[in-house]
Amino acid sequence: MSARPVPPPAEAIAQDVARALAEDVGSGDVTAALLPDIADIAYLLCKEDAVVAGQPWFDACHRALDPDVEIDWRVRDGDRVAAGTVLATLSGRARALVTAERSALNFMQTLSGTATTTAGYVDIVRDTGCTILDTRKTLPGLRLAQKYAVRCGGGQNHRIGLFDAVMLKENHIHAAGSLPAAIRAARAAQPSLPLIVEVETLEQLDEALAAGCERILIDDFDAGARREAVKRARAAPFNGRIPLEVSGGVDLSTLRGIAEDGVDFVSIGGLTKHVRAIDLSMKLGPAP
């Protein structure tokens, strides 16, 4: 069984939650103030099939308003659940429970949506040796959260941002004068960082293979060119040492064929960009 995904640092989660509560609660929850401030219980219900993600943010929302709240999770992030599953039960102060509800649900619904979408893509490429990657096309302010959700869905993360890998694309190559010149400049400036090179032709692929890098992204290659790229990357003297990534022109109907062509990675912006929230609800009272 694969290891559970590790969430971002607690400080990053706390910052996400602080922003969410600040925009929702503002100067105070005037409706919750009408409730008696007594102990109460609640439960979190998933109303559709889903992959769960977002528990650290859900917990942090509630604990920010009631440090003594007790949350009993019946599932873990990364679990697949059926519609009608009670995910957790809560015990705490009634006012705090209802005030934290919306922000906590927003995190859980969004991140579970990302994880569920990712799992759908991962299922399609299962047993092909191809890995599903995310991109930087994330919701502003939620990059670490969404990339965690991708891991919950069985995918892996591309670079986190513009700081942790060098990625040469068309404009960088144009500015440098040639692809080999761009690679030389990248290696000289950032020798310790991974280097990813995007190529648009088989000729550029040959240049990238000869110059060397950590991964080559073959952008919008048709099926014939893609298979030829795999053949060249696996032939001597390269012998598959530099993995190939596909990006662009990928959807659920084309993904399996792309994976079966032998590429190592497929990166999909839609994992984090086209988010459909999972239908969850939190209700006061005992769980059914």
Check if the beta carbon of residue 147 is closer than 8 Å to that of residue 160. yes
Query: Would you please indicate which residues are annotated as catalytic (active-site) residues?
Result: 102, 137, 169, 198, 219
Spatial separation of the C-alpha atoms in residues 102 and 280, rounded to whole Å: 11
Closest C-alpha among 254, 236, 241, 237 to residue 213? 241
Q: Which three-class secondary structure string do you get for 127-164?
A: CCCCEEECCCCCCCCCHHHHHHHHHHCCCECCCCCCCC
Check if the beta carbon of residue 112 is closer than 8 Å to that of residue 77. no
Instruction: Determine which helix (DSSP H) or strand (DSSP E) holds 87, and give its type and residue range.
Output: strand 85-93
DSSP sequence for 187-229: HHH-TTS-EEEEESSHHHHHHHHHH--SEEEEES--HHHHHHH
Spatial separation of the C-alpha atoms in residues 257 and 254, rounded to whole Å: 6
Write the DSSP symbol of residue 34: G
Sign of CA dihedral 132, 136, 140, 143: positive
Spatial separation of the C-alpha atoms in residues 288 and 285, rounded to whole Å: 9
